[in-house]
Structure 1
């Protein structure tokens, strides 16, 4: 008989990523098998330059087990664009992605007064679709969708269209 994994969500800490987390974020993204994997260098830069608009979940040993990366749009300074959300396989199914997203949005709202969240989701990514629809519901915010980047815009082979999800206005 195999024991179910212990619920360690009480042991998790959510905070800002540091450069030292970059390699772990890259591995979590790679192992997700659904995200477009960026170079390991980009995750290091992200943890340095966009730590204020990103979040990492750490287990009891301080190791990253999930993350959300984002940035405030330069032309829309009240909009947080969520770039990627990923949770290590061992911590999936416990609502960690929602906790990361809620915590990040609340922090950026308090620090930078964002009123909207945007992200893109490919039509085949039902987990992300559920995550962002649930986020909009939890925050009683409107959700609008439109194709941002159609399939033909991607130069590196077949790619699903990226559908823009615009959620807001937000209040915390």
Structure 2
């Protein structure tokens, strides 16, 4: 009988633990079921009237074209191709002596410029060095859409 008494508490303990584990497992699964409740269907709002996209300004268009010209001149495979691109680019300026200012330093709103040059000289410089190290930071245009002044900065 003593053997039976030892098995009884062990069997009883194992049975109780099994029920506790099942109860805990059931609680967790109920929480998951409660948490996984379906989300409410969002009410679709009518699409707002599409506003026409703002058209880029003349300055933005000119900057894009000039950046392309500068890259084309710097990356031209031969001198003749670079000269043709320079001729096209000069058509965007009021004259071939349009000033080009290159900012070398700026502090507290005060800008220090490299020696002023002209657009013709700058384009030839790009052709000779085959490097476009600057980007357009400011552009001034006249009423007819021609560039009258260009300010560049180091990339």
TM-score, length basis structure 2: 0.22
Larger Cα-atom Rg: 2
The answer to which structure has the higher strand fraction is 1
TM-score, length basis structure 1: 0.20
Q: Which has the higher contact order (CA 8 A, sep 6+)?
A: 2
